Amino acid sequence: MKVRGNNNHKSMGGQVPEPTLRRLPGYLSYFKSLKINGIEHVSSSQIASTFNMDATLVTKDLSHTGIKGRTKIGYNVDKLIETIIVFLDFNTHENAFLFGVGNLGKALINYDGLKHYGLKIVAGFDVDPRVINTSVKDVKVYGVDDFRDLSRKIPARIGIITTPDGKAQETADYMVAWGIKAIWNFTPQSIKVPDNIVVENTSIYSDLAVILNKLNK
Amino acid sequence: MKVRGNNNHKSMGGQVPEPTLRRLPGYLSYFKSLKINGIEHVSSSQIASTFNMDATLVTKDLSHTGIKGRTKIGYNVDKLIETIIVFLDFNTHENAFLFGVGNLGKALINYDGLKHYGLKIVAGFDVDPRVINTSVKDVKVYGVDDFRDLSRKIPARIGIITTPDGKAQETADYMVAWGIKAIWNFTPQSIKVPDNIVVENTSIYSDLAVILNKLNK
DNA sequence: CAATAGTTGTTATTTTATTAACAATTCTTC
DNA sequence: GAAGAATTGTTAATAAAATAACAACTATTG
Ligand SMILES: NC(=O)c1ccc[n+]([C@@H]2O[C@H](COP(=O)([O-])OP(=O)(O)OC[C@H]3O[C@@H](n4cnc5c(N)ncnc54)[C@H](O)[C@@H]3O)[C@@H](O)[C@H]2O)c1
Ligand SMILES: NC(=O)c1ccc[n+]([C@@H]2O[C@H](COP(=O)([O-])OP(=O)(O)OC[C@H]3O[C@@H](n4cnc5c(N)ncnc54)[C@H](O)[C@@H]3O)[C@@H](O)[C@H]2O)c1
């Protein structure tokens, strides 16, 4: 019986490398600040120096988006912003449901930034009667039982999990059962879902581990 | 004049690969849940299946921590937990100051989890008079001007930035000036600091970019 | 208007990370 | 107590990412 080498966890869908995908939003934020400061062009070496990385890598990353720079001039900032936004689908308003309207859940709902990056949280769900039927900003909070009905009325492909750690799996199962296609899991708990469901785990502990490691040599 | 290939941003300090470091906290969380369920041993293939990855990689990751498994039995869960916690310095209580006690800053202070993972937020700083002199949980919020004095009284090497995007650089400069050794930046804005300062950027937009990319094929 | 230097964009090389192969170990069963 | 199966741990091969090398282009300067 084979035990190893049998798992294909590489998505292999698009051809753009994930590291590139992860760097692009950082560039975008930088380009936006350049625009605010009235700067019209930027070169790969300037970008590289800002992010403390190699200029060739910047060039390669940007080439994936299809943008063209001009020799001796660099890239046009407006064009960069527009191109990256479209490339990353940050222009499409993707609806999302959020489960667990606690500390982090509220922060995310209150967070204005997300809507500029393609995501709109359309409803919150919780089990705590003190939270149910309240509103955070203009987002209403429902009991989890209302999810079934609501997921029919409001189409949303993304589900955000900010419940307590132990509730991550059951929440994921519930989301999948009612049609969610991608799960954004802020819990440190690993979740199991069918292969066709997209899962992204955002774990601040990984970042913390890196910080502590570097700090302690 | 050389333009490319001149940046060394690889820390090169420890010999444990960063991807490994980033996976270990996830394993740890899983092992803790196993312990709660009374499970005493776990094999690399079980772990691998939980995280949808290759079992060899798990073995390699764990070998970095120095833990030994037993053939035909697997790894001892208690030992795994203890070893990883020590390995990642999650047992040392590292003090941290947090700048920007808004939505996210409050969520982080309120978050119980961090203290089990080596981090203790000892004070918050803000510019908003409505927030200054309040407390979040048992953590007091001071005006940013009090930072100088407080950083002498309470030793802390880590600074957390949860200010608005535009204030990230000035906050970082201020932190560095008063002795902070590592900066955890939750802002999408890139910051520049001296080479000897550790910087970790936590950007949820990178995760979002990956989700949207996978979702749209 | 020729020379220069900054710059893009592509291809080649090197480094790093992941996966595969396999030898060694040891529990379990007959 | 021998045989078989599950498992670790190491070494080898492959794949992926980052870096280097370089050719082509074009604003600027003398
Ligand atoms: N607070 C942070 O800054 C932070 C940072 C990173 C990760 N996290 C993670 O995010 C998660 C939430 O953390 P938090 O601090 O917001 O916790 P919290 O306790 O403040 O919020 C959890 C919320 O989930 C609700 N809930 C419980 N069971 C539920 C269920 N089955 N369905 C829907 N809602 C349910 C609770 O009523 C509560 O409102 C945790 O897993 C934590 O590890 C938090
Ligand atoms: N809210 C979220 O869920 C979330 C998620 C990811 C990233 N972020 C990022 O975190 C940052 C903060 O977001 P937020 O939603 O908490 O914003 P917020 O406006 O709620 O909080 C910002 C706080 O910083 C304070 N502040 C302003 N200038 C300051 C200064 N110079 N020094 C110290 N404090 C200062 C403000 O008074 C305010 O209290 C932003 O950069 C945002 O992009 C937020």
Give the residue, out of A99, A162, A170, A183, with the most ligand 1 atoms within 8 A of its beta carbon, to mutate for a pocket test. Answer: A162
CB nearest B182 (choices: A5, A88, A215):
A215
Please check the confidence at residue A150 and state whether its pLDDT lies above 80.
Answer: yes
Amino acid sitting at position A84: I
- Tokens representing A207 are 């970042």
**Res A217: pLDDT:** 80
**Is this model's pTM higher than 0.85 or not?**
yes
| Mean pLDDT of the region A2-22 | 58
D7 C1' to A7 CA distance, Å: 18
**Res A8: pLDDT:** 30
Average pLDDT in chain A = 92
Convert the pLDDT of each residue in A165-190 to its tens digit.
Answer: 999 999 999 999 999 999 999 999 99
For A115, the 3-state DSSP assignment is: helix
**Res B15: pLDDT:** 83
Contact residues on chain A for B192, CB-CB shorter than 8 A: 50
Please check the confidence at residue A7 and state whether its pLDDT lies above 70.
Answer: no
> Measured on CA atoms in the order B84, B86, B89, B91, is the torsion positive or negative?
positive
**Res B6: pLDDT:** 32
Of the pLDDT bands very low, low, confident and very high (cuts 50, 70, 90), residue A13 is very low
**Res B217: pLDDT:** 80
A63-88 burial, b if ≥16 CB within 10 A, otherwise e? Answer: eebeeebeeeebbbbeebbebbbebb
Please check the confidence at residue A11 and state whether its pLDDT lies above 90.
Answer: no
Convert the pLDDT of each residue in A71-129 to its tens digit.
Answer: 999 999 999 999 999 999 999 999 999 999 999 999 999 999 999 999 999 999 999 99
Give the residue, out of B97, B98, B103, with the most ligand 2 atoms within 8 A of its beta carbon, to mutate for a pocket test. Answer: B103
**Res A15: pLDDT:** 83
**Res B10: pLDDT:** 29
Low-confidence ranges of chain B (pLDDT < 70): 1-14
C17 C1' to B191 CA distance, Å: 28
**Res B117: pLDDT:** 94
Q: Which domains does chain B have, with CATH numbers?
A: 18-87 (1.10.10.10), 94-207 (3.40.50.720)
Instruction: Measure A58 CA to ligand 1 centroid, in angstroms.
Output: 37
H/E stretch holding A2 reads: none
Convert the pLDDT of each residue in A189-215 to its tens digit.
Answer: 999 999 999 999 999 999 999 999 999
Closest ligand 2 atom to Cα of B102: 21
Distance between CA atoms of B150 and B165, rounded to whole angstroms?
Answer: 24
**Res A138: pLDDT:** 94
Cβ contact B162:B112 at 8 Å: no
- Tokens representing B58 are 């798990």
Q: Which residues, in sequence order, are bridge partners of residue B96?
A: B121, B158
D12 C1' to B56 CA distance, Å: 14
**Res B211: pLDDT:** 98
Please check the confidence at residue A12 and state whether its pLDDT lies above 70.
Answer: no
Side-chain-facing half-sphere of A137: CA atoms under 13 Å? 16
